[in-house]
Amino acid sequence: MTSRRDFLASSATAAAAITTAMGQTAQNTREADRDHSSSNPGQSNTGLVALNPNSNMPPPTDHGAVPPIWYSFDLTHRRVQEGGWTHEVTERDLPDSKEIAGVNMRLTKGSYRELHWHVADEWAIMLKGNARVTVLSPDGSMFIDDVAEGDLWLFPAGYPHSIQGTGDDGCEFLLVFNQGSFSEESTFLISDWLKHTPPDVLQKNFKLDAAAISKLPKGEPLYIFPSDPPHQTLAQDRAESASHAPASKQVFTFRPSQMKPTKESENGHLRVIDSHNFPASTKIAAGLVTLKPGGLRELHWHPSGSEWQFWIAGQGRMTVFNAKEAARTMDFHANDVGYVPSMAGHYIENTGTTDLVYLEMFATGKYSEVSLNQWLRALPAQVAMAHTNLSAEDLARIPREANAIL
């Protein structure tokens, strides 16, 4: 015989099951309605939709208006010359990116990016191949070095420099400038300057006769042009330069592969490069991130300003929270550029089957970030519980330390 207690218990269980079923049915109905509401029986760019499913069908957590956070070098115009090519992503493409612009460039073997200088600092990473770089400091000292895949350089604003492809197939590199409006079309080129200086002034300046001055390049500036690979070794070039100018005491190149990761876990690692370990880089800081499949760059933000990203390999997604109930999720692939407004919270998740590698760039000499996990664990438990409705046991399971890679 069933007791009253057993009857009430079984009734409560049945009621709970009915409620759960009704809730699941309602959820399924809402999802079906949402799927139907988001259907697009008309025209679409199917290739672009396939690359960015989180934009085409955003997660329900997305809301409000967030400034553009995605662009791709593959959407830009490439300037192709004999000897290589270049294209750029600036604030014209990402209007809110006022602090940083990027240029992707290739030089064939022996080809030069001609002698020039900029109004902004130039930070660079070698993506493929090898190159030889030179830079003259205002004190008259000369720096010459060879760089390979993964190596960096930093040329301060106003310091004249050159780049020459030396690998078997030349090189390709990314240039980052601490000026959102920067354009490769407006650099100070030596051939452009000489062409626009009266020949008699050039004779006086160089102590050369008219016949010699007539040999100087004419027509369009050289910009990128083919030439022979270096005839001398690095040591020989340095020795030749030392006979005319002192060697620079400042080091303008850096090799991240030789440094221990700043943060590391079984899911990936982060290498921070800023003025602490690369003294020449006083105005640009970087984080080089590798995420294993399924890995997560934890929820965080940067107090030092906006973040400009270059995605080197793999694929992932990022949600940017920009206050005022505004959040936007986008998908990213190799050769894409990401942008995170100053102070905006975000994460990056590897959604592919291979390692995700990308750069975080900041227009500051010192890298800094704030971890959401670390913040919640550092608070008195009562404060955190009041704001999140989590129990003390729940809070205790949240990672206590800032852990860039989860």
- Which residues have a catalytic role annotated? 360
8 Å CB contact between 317 and 351? yes
Residue for token pair 């921070």? 272
The DSSP result for 40-90, as a single string, is: --S---HHHHHH-HHHHS--TT-BS-----EEEGGGSPPEEETTEEEEEE-
Residue for token pair 């000499």? 365
Can you tell me the distance from the alpha carbon of 252 to that of 361, in angstroms, rounded to the nearest whole number?
18
325: burial class by Cβ within 10 Å (0-12, 13-18, 19+)?
A: exposed
Six token digits for residue 7: 């009857």
3 state SS of 211: helix
Can you tell me the distance from the alpha carbon of 35 to that of 31, in angstroms, rounded to the nearest whole number?
6
Burial 187-204 (b: 16+ CB within 10 A, else e): bebbbbebeeeeeeeeee
